[in-house]
Amino acid sequence: MRALVVDDEPLTRAALAQILADRRDIADFDLVENAHQALDHLRKRPVDVLLLDIHMPEMSGLQLIEALSQQTGVMPSVIFVTAYHEHAVEAFEKRAVDYVLKPVVPGRVHEALDVAVRRTHQERAERLLGALNDLRLRPARTTRIALKDKGRVVFVDVSEITSVEANGNYVLLQGKTGSYVLRETMADIAEKLAPEGFIRIHRSVLINGSQVDSIQPGAGSEYILRTKSGKEYHVTRTYRGNLKGLAQLWISDEAFLFG
């Protein structure tokens, strides 16, 4: 998971950075000094968890959350970190997962982060479940592709292909009733099959989105994708952003956070 610290006090930023660095479930994090820097950062690189000061020059933390709520995309789990307890009620009205008082106590911050991580995993799982349910309800495609096989041309229904895997100078198409070897580059076959709902989850693997059974967070920044045949694949960090395209393709313009 990714986190962002937004606080105009250098000592607080340093203390929170040390706490985040000690956690194995936070893959990386960044530090900014004010809400305007935070908005710019979040437009370019969304995060899962936001540790946010309330009293800051020009734009408060509460105003930042208000601005973010008016934008499209998935809201991060928010932990307010402030010296002023009187804002607690308003903070929770803004969907904050927790409210930590300064000076920060590491144990208390870790408790808040535990809650934020759990909420992020739960909301991510709910989005994935919704996307996969819609995917299953989508009518099956009838597109067929022509393949040369042992001196003949075979017509294969694209929906019957589960995966495409690189094999040296060839690619191996794994189907429900057999497999086919083509002399193609992975880049070329990925481009041709993208309109048919195939997504790249590894430099050497394409998956047919209609054959996906489930996706769940794995170790570190990876995801584990399971097909209807029961085979599991690791979605690497480089390609996990493609899962967002899978969700956009089948349900709406709403973006899911996989990046």
pLDDT tens per residue across span 83-131: 877 765 565 566 688 889 999 999 999 999 999 998 888 877 777 777 6
> Quick check: 148 pLDDT over 90?
no
C-alpha pair distances (Å), 122 with each of 75, 83, 217, 241: 13, 29, 11, 19
| Total residues belonging to the chain | 259
The per-residue pLDDT for 250 is: 43
Q: How does residue 142 score in pLDDT terms, banded at 50, 70 and 90?
A: low
Tokens of 83: 């010296």
CATH number, domain 138-250, options 2.40.30.10, 2.40.50.1020, 3.30.870.10, 1.20.120.790: 2.40.50.1020
Q: How does residue 29 score in pLDDT terms, banded at 50, 70 and 90?
A: very high
C-beta of residue 200 within 8 angstroms of C-beta of residue 242: yes
For the segment 180-227, what is each residue's pLDDT rounded down to a tens digit? Answer: 888 888 888 888 888 888 888 888 999 888 888 888 877 766 788 888
* Domain 2-123 CATH class label: alpha beta
Residue (of 135, 126, 133, 97) closest to 216 by Cα position? 126
Tokens of 55: 């009293």
In 3-state terms the chain splits into helix, strand, coil percentages (rounded to 5) of 40, 30, 30
- CA 28, CA 49: separation in Å to the nearest integer? 11
- CA 192, CA 57: separation in Å to the nearest integer? 51
Instruction: Compute the Cα dihedral for 14, 20, 21, 22 and give only its sign.
Output: positive
pTM: 0.52
Domain boundaries, the chain: 2-123, 138-250
Q: How does residue 253 score in pLDDT terms, banded at 50, 70 and 90?
A: very low
Tokens of 216: 């769940």
